[in-house]
Structure 1
């Protein structure tokens, strides 16, 4: 599909609007002028007919009409477009002025009525017709009663050719001015549109300079018109999101490569050491067991990465159903009870048994498992980890609290980032207790899938991870 020029579209719109406006105004003026001219000419014709009737009232007979023809024709003298034609009841011409010249003496229109001598002559008495020569005519045929009781018919006519020519000339000028105005509007509209759209071209030019290497570049909003301010701000906000996304992907890739390099290096190092000289069967078995642990660590890391990738897909589906929060926490605590006993850590479950929520059971269990596993790693022996379910104003809360060293408040948000660890020394922890740095990131992703939140609090009393399921997914 061919692209359309916005400037050309606006110019055409301006031209079309100008043509419509000129046409409407010109038509109104044309018809107003036409009515005004006809009204004035018809009024003159009526007045002349009335004067002729008054003069005829003073005449005794048809002979007097011939005798005083000059008095009657004086009403139309000096006007080449006016004519007077008087005939008696037998059709004999008594007075003729200009009628033969204009061709209005005969034939008259058959539908032209005579105004009776006792009727008032008005503009409604005007009749329109065309003379044999094609001239447009307006006229009145009125009966005149003489003193001897006889009647004659006086026809006062006006040739409207000059008026039609005037209107035709006026109409042609309106057409010319309308067309000229449209062309001028097209030109001015094109120039104004091009100038008005200059900020759009500037925005496009600025956007064209933004590449992967220059994602920190932003579009200047200082000189942008108000109408484009929202668009510019939206584009800059989009660039901010893209920049953060690229930075996160870059950091994510670097962290993933770094974390995968550690187990791979361990695998390679143990294999090289084992092959450096002859070993006993027990030593080879120890190497294989160590390599198996590293493989499991890689497997868990890859599984976590794949889960995060799937969770970010728009078509990721959660199967929500109603769950007993305390019952689920109890089941999870029982699963970790053996590990906790080995570490000398106590597990407790608290909460109102009536608290229920709607969640994807597998995802919820995975989130709490990750929090509990994290708490077990950092809880000193002899301390307690508490799991609690409770109702709150903003929904249903699941809290996993453990005693131990507090986390720096500045790091409480960063610990949810992928591959982030608050203590760099833990990056070299054995796979049996170590983490790929994705556990808390998975927790937050799972909560986002539920429309909830995951946050952490830490002080001298310990650390608390709080999962909040909003009212939309919580029931009582």
Structure 2
């Protein structure tokens, strides 16, 4: 990661501050403006209303001063929170008759308002109107008290908003510190862990659900890493074992060859045995490479046209010698068209492991029977042995990597990779592999490969 590094606490504080500003300050400013605007509009509406009332009195009284004084007194009594003043000019416009508060009139001066639109002089609002007979009337209202009340309300809103923002920021700070503390505890627990050989244990007191989920996922991740580490160690051990046995046998065969003089036939037999051991070594390496490669589901392998029967014939002599070294033999039966399209190496590797597994388990002196049956849409391979058989509950487990069934470790070395590679090769080919019990004792391994491997 590049750029400036911000701690989570700093980001939370900035985020909470912006959130408080948006949720508290902005509505507060809007409310302050609305309060002031409402006060202005209410005063303007009152000026217009009282001007209209005064117009009526002027028109109906014929300009009688006493009547107008009484009318203005009644209007003032109805609105004690403001000061009102009225005046009117006759048609000539030379004389103004004044009624109401003299302070208001002194503030606005002797000139009439410019027109029906409200004008202001500080807290005073006034309007004027010309009647049909040329008489001009004017109303002026001092709304200082109304505006003072509005300002007090604005101060109250501002104070409450600032208090709410301060409270929100305090709560945000507490939440930030709590969250940071929990995350620091998680990080400290991970740092203390130190090794994949023990489970991760992070102790938190009443954490939020989200933090608890993060910790659980970390613990699961460490558990998976431990499993992968164990599998890797087992794979390395398997590699060492699978390579060590053939290499030791090669060395022993060479030492035997050098200990005494031998006839040409004896030397030939020794060399053939060494070649067989070398091929077993190559097969072990190939199995391990295939196991690693098949972990990648996108690796579909090359698509080739080949005849599975011909490929078996090429390898038959070698497999027969391997069976003979263990006191057994091979019997091969081929039926139908055995041509197929797909990953040639995956198919042959699966077949090789099935045969090797049967040779290892079949009883001495009994043949391993291989049947290749070319059907319309697939080729079915059946490999029969006369071994001890596999329990129904263990037939699927036998295909899992590194799984060794009861009694296997006593019978022969290995780490349970052969059948796993068979199953993976079959799946990559779009086929299947399974184990079936054989009548009379033993096991039948079935490998079904479609004639054309999916792309």
Q: What is the TM-score of this pair, normalised by structure 1?
A: 0.70
Query: CA–CA distance in 2 between the matches of 1:216 and 1:471?
Result: 47
User: Which of residues 130, 136, 159 is equivalent to 2:142?
Assistant: 159
Equivalent in the alignment of 1:119? none
* Cα distance change on mapping 1:3 and 1:361 into 2, 3 Å: same
Q: Counterpart of 2:118?
A: 128
Structure 1 counterpart of 2:313: 334
- Aligned: 1:103 with 2:108: yes
* Conserved? CA contact 1:375–1:385, under 8 Å: no
SS state of the match for residue 126, structure 2? strand
CA separation of 1:138 and 1:254: change in aligned 2, threshold 3 A: same
Q: Retained in 2: the 8 A contact 1:345–1:384?
A: yes
Contact 1:141–1:155 (CA under 8 A) maintained in structure 2: yes
The answer for the alignment partner of 1:52 in structure 2 is 54
Alignment of 1:98-247 (within 5 A): 98-106=103-111, 108-109=113-114, 112-113=115-116, 127-131=117-121, 135=122, 137-143=124-130, 152-160=135-143, 163-164=146-147, 166-168=149-151, 170-171=153-154, 173-195=156-178, 200-217=183-200, 225-227=208-210, 231-247=214-230
CA distance, structure 1, for counterparts of residue 285 and residue 418 of structure 2? 12
1:421-470 CA-to-partner distances (Å, cap 9, x unmatched) read: 96446658xxxxxx897543432342354466544334554312234569
Report the alpha carbon displacement of residue 292 of structure 1 after superposing the two structures with TM: 5.8
Three-state SS of the structure 2 residue aligned to 1:26 is helix
Q: How does 1:214-293 map to 2 (within 5 A)?
A: 214-217=197-200, 225-227=208-210, 231-266=214-249, 279-280=260-261, 289=271
Q: Is the 8 A contact 1:447 1:469 kept in 2?
A: yes
Q: Distance in 2 between matches of 1:218 and 1:452?
A: 43
Distance 1:98 1:271 in 2: 130
Matched, 1:362 2:349: no
Q: Structure 1 466/158 Cα, relative in aligned 2: closer, same or farther at 3 Å?
A: farther
Could you tell me which residue of structure 2 aligns to residue 120 of structure 1? Answer: none
- 1:405: how far off? 1.7
Shift of 1:365: 2.3
| Partner SS for 1:157 | strand
CA deviation map 1:47-91 (0-9, x unaligned) = 543553454356556xx53x7774465344877742222222333
Specify the alignment match of 1:440 in structure 2: 419
In 1, Cα distance between the equivalents of 2:235 and 2:293?
16
Higher relative contact order (CA 8 A, sep 6+): 1
Q: Could you say if the C-alpha distance between residues 447 and 236 of structure 1 is closer, same or farther in structure 2, counting changes exceeding 3 Å?
A: farther
Cα distance in 2, alignment partners of residues 344 and 287 from structure 1: 18
What CA deviation, in whole Å up to 9, does each residue of 1:198-246 have, x standing for no partner? 6555544443344434344466799665445655554444333322222
Q: State the shift of 1:364 in Å.
A: 1.4
- State the match for 1:124 in structure 2: none
Report Cα offsets for 1:276-332 as digits up to 9, x if no partner. Answer: xx74365995897366655554444334433433444577451246x6xxx844334
Q: What residue ranges of structure 1 are gaps of 5+ in the alignment? A: 114-126, 429-434
- Match runs of 1:372-383 below 5 Å: 372-379=355-362, 380-381=365-366
Task: Give the counterpart of 1:85 among 60, 65, 87.
Answer: 87
| Contact 2:432 2:447 (8 Å CA) reproduced | yes
Please provide the CA RMSD for this pair.
4.6
Q: How many residues align?
A: 433
Structure 2 portions without partners, runs of 5+: none
The answer to whether structure 1 residue 385 and structure 2 residue 375 are counterparts is: no
Per-residue deviation, 1:10: 3.9
